[in-house]
Amino acid sequence: MAALQGRRALVTGAAKGIGAAIARRLAADGAAVILADLDGDGAAALADEIGGTAVTLDVTDNAAVQAAIAAAGTLDILVNNAGVDQHAFFTATAPQDWQRLLAVNLLSVLATCHAALPAMQAAGHGRIVNIASEAGRQGSRGGSIYAAAKGGVIAFTKSIARENARYGITANCVAPGPVDTPLVRAGIAASGEKLLKAMQGLTLVGRLGRPEEVAAAVAYLSSDDAAFVTGEVLGVSGGMGMGG
């Protein structure tokens, strides 16, 4: 039997990149997957491919998040993957930049968990997996607000793990390092191969990660095999996080 057979999962930012890989893996493991993304067409196309359902969702709209979670019904698995980044030194950023990055990367995680947890508590079971980043553990040169948001995700995840263990709910983070996604490839195309080499050099294994490798970690934390794992940060970073 597939490891997640009969489980209902919602993945944010599921239309492409890491989110798409997560949606594919959870579906392959037997879960009924709801793909939520601002790109509703992209989410719908992938949902058709994997036999899931799609919802167009702006994760910064709290009312829309509450409505989407309510429509999804009781979730067994919630994966918060939606995120944005901005490469700029802190003094070159503006308050509107901070607000956008915190809204997408941190506040949306609070919103989805706030909406999903009561039903999970009533059911006596749940798996929450939040996609953090090694930047949230080590900081990021040129990505201070992103790092602050992801650090907040880590602290929040540990806190809800403490609060919800008695309900049979686990909450964990996956912290990717540099991963080969369309967004990363666009940055490399714009900046040249020097950026690729620099990113590869951040890892011990000397390459970018694959979205499927992050998805495998999410699938594990979503499964019964990880029932004794909560409040943890699982680095999927090729050794980048060994110092953090």
**CA dist 81 → 10, 110, 133, 235, 243 (Å):** 10, 13, 11, 15, 24
Please, what are the domains in the chain?
Answer: 8-179+211-235 (3.40.50.720)
pLDDT given at position 243: 55
Sign of the alpha-carbon torsion through 100, 133, 24, 201: positive
**pLDDT score for 219:** 98
Residue 227 DSSP SS3: coil
Q: Is the pLDDT of residue 202 over 80?
A: yes
Does 146 qualify as catalytic in the annotation? yes
Q: What pTM does this model have?
A: 0.94
Which residues face 128 on adjacent strands? Answer: 78, 171
Residue 127 confidence class, pLDDT cut points 50, 70, 90: very high
- What is the reported pLDDT for 2? 86
DSSP H/E element including 37: strand 32-37
- Largest Cα–Cα separation, the chain: 53
Give the pair of three-digit tokens for residue 116: 């999903």
What does the pLDDT look like over 211-237, one tens digit per residue?
Answer: 999 999 999 999 999 999 999 999 999
pLDDT in tens, 93-109: 999 999 999 999 999 99
Is residue 219 within 8 Å of 25, Cβ to Cβ? yes
Active-site residue identified among 137, 146, 219, 230? 146
Whether residue 187 is predicted with pLDDT greater than 80 in this model: the reply is no
* 3-39 confidence digits (pLDDT tens): 999 999 999 999 999 999 999 999 999 999 999 999 9
